[in-house]
A = this chain, B = another copy of it.
Amino acid sequence: MSIQTAFERLDATSWGIQSHVCVGLDPDPARMAIPDVFEFNKSIVDATRHAACAYKLQLAFYEALGVPGLQAMERTIRHVRDAAPRAVIIADCKRGDIGTVAAAYAKAMFETWGFDMATVMPYMGADSIEPWLQYPDRGVYIVCRTSNPGAHDVQELRVQGGEKPRRVFEWVAAAAARWGAAGKVGLVAGATQPGDVRVLREAHADMPFLVPGVGAQGGDVALASRAAANLDGRGFIINSSRAIIYASKDRANFARAARDACEKLRKEINSALTVSV
């Protein structure tokens, strides 16, 4: 029997609970309803686990808190394993470096911290991705088309050659598709540019997409969902961080508010997929 890949597990969980929602656990001491990072995350996970197929931890927010932040991250990962064992846990670390260093980063994310998946940067090419693919039951999302205004500066440069003109992020997606022949590679495609998400989906029918940029960043949930879904209405998750975890700053109600926001997002996505366009 072959080992189930992280993307297969994610797809099964997503289908099982009928949810494409990934909850972003991005602790910001200035915005959290309670001060303890782990307790905050625990409350969010417990309130959303029935409606979220994945949790994405943005490493910057833990690193900014130093060693105590990383210890809270460790405890959070363990808690998700216990409380939501079918959920997939994603390190949003966007690491990228040459082979020997990439191997150390992959070890950090997959072995030391125990994530299922990680986001990785494509700028240094194939040999910076390859060490991540040595783990049969893990996966990576290649950062391809991001949701921020600066995405324009490099990702949208037009590349010479090929049959038709394509932008850098389209080349990255094509390279990622080659690197990911073993089913261990997906793409990050930001919701703020649903037209580009659609371009990527048309070119890559089966690649898993991680779609950030709804909520605080302004991406339209329905447009992004329809653009990201594959022909079966699957193959993607939509991440929301701030709009869920900071739905309320009220100490007594923040977890319930997060639950409500998570369920609302699940419904919005599912409705968008069932309505014909």
Contact = CB atoms under 8 A, between A and B. Distances in A.
A249 to B, nearest CB: 17
Interface residues of A, number: 58
Given A63-B112, A160-B158, A125 B104 contact: no
Contacts of A122: 123, 153-154
Contacts of A146: 98, 123-124
Interface of A: 26, 58, 60-61, 63-67, 70-71, 74, 94-99, 101-102, 104-105, 107-108, 111-113, 121-129, 143, 146-155, 157-161, 165, 168, 171-172, 175, 217
Contacts of A153: 122, 125-126, 175
B74 A67 contact: yes
Contacts of A66: 70, 74, 108, 112-113
Contacts of A126: 149-150, 153
Given A96-B121, A123-B155, A150-B126, A60 B104 contact: yes
A64 B107 contact: yes
A149 to B, nearest CB: 6
Contact of A70 (B67, B150, B160): B67
Contacts of A102: 60
B94 A97 contact: yes
